[in-house]
Chain A
Amino acid sequence: MNVVLAVLWKDLVSEWRSRDRVVSMLLFSLLVVVVLHFSLPPDAGTTLRAGAAGLLWVAYVFAAVLGMNRSFALELENEALSGLALAPADRGHVFLGKAAASFVLLLAVQAATAFAFALAFDVALLPVALRFAGIAALGGLGLAAVGTLFAAVAVRTRQREVMLPLLLLPVLVPLLLGAVRGTAALLEGASIGPAVRLLLVTDAIYLIVSFVLFDFVLDE
Chain B
Amino acid sequence: MTNDAPAPSRAARWRRPTLLLALALVVGWAFAVLTAPEDSMQGVIQKILYVHVPCAFAAYAGFGLTALGGALYLWRGDERYDRLGRAAAEAGVLFCTLVIVTGPIWAKGTWGRWWSWDPRLTVTLLLWFIYLAYLLIRGFTEGSERGARFAAVYGIAGLAAVPLNYFAIELFGGRAIHPENLQRGSLGEGMGLPFALGVLAGLAVFAHLVVRRVEIEELRSRAQDDEAEAAPERRLEGGAPWRT
Contact = CB atoms under 8 A, between A and B. Distances in A.
B158 A170 contact: yes
A216 B153 contact: yes
Given A156-B242, A169-B129, A170-B126, A216 B152 contact: yes
Contact of A177 (B153, B158, B169): B169
Interface stretch (A2-10, A107-115, A132-140, A206-214): A206-214
Given A76-B242, A77-B244, A194-B172, A146 B157 contact: yes
Contact of B157 (A77, A159, A209): A209
Interface in A161-212: 163, 166-167, 169-171, 173-174, 177-178, 181, 194-195, 198, 201-202, 205-206, 209-210
A219 B147 CA distance: 11
Contacts of A178: 168, 172
Contacts of A158: 140-142
Given A216-B153, A217-B150, A219-B149, A79 B242 contact: yes
Interface in B105-149: 126-127, 129-130, 132-133, 136-137, 140-142, 146, 149
Contacts of B168: 173-174, 177-178, 198, 202
Contact of A159 (B140, B161, B173, B240): B140
A56 to B, nearest CB: 17
In terms of DSSP, what is the predominant structure of the interface of chain B?
A: helix
B74 interface: yes
A81 interface: yes
A173 B126 contact: yes
Interface string B28-41: 00000000000000
The listed residue with most B CB atoms (<10 A of its CB), out of A82, A146, A158, A159, is: A158
Interface string A109-153: 000000000000000000000000000000000000010011001
B232 interface: no
A157 interface: yes
Contacts of A173: 126, 161, 165, 168-169
Interface residues of B, number: 36
Contacts of B132: 166
A158 B156 CA distance: 22
B154 A174 contact: no
B199 to A, nearest CB: 25
A209 B156 contact: yes
A35 to B, nearest CB: 25
A158 B142 CA distance: 8
Nearest to A163: B140
A205 B160 contact: yes
A219 B143 CA distance: 13
B167 interface: yes
B101 interface: no
Contact of A166 (B74, B133, B146, B244): B133
B141 A167 contact: no
A153 B137 contact: yes
B158 A174 contact: no
A157 B141 contact: yes
A220 interface: yes
B81 to A, nearest CB: 13
Given A157-B141, A170-B133, A205 B164 contact: yes
5 contacts: A76-B244, A82-B242, A156-B141, A156-B243, A217-B149
Interface of A: 76-77, 79, 81-82, 146, 149-150, 153, 156-159, 163, 166-167, 169-171, 173-174, 177-178, 181, 194-195, 198, 201-202, 205-206, 209-210, 213, 216-217, 219-220
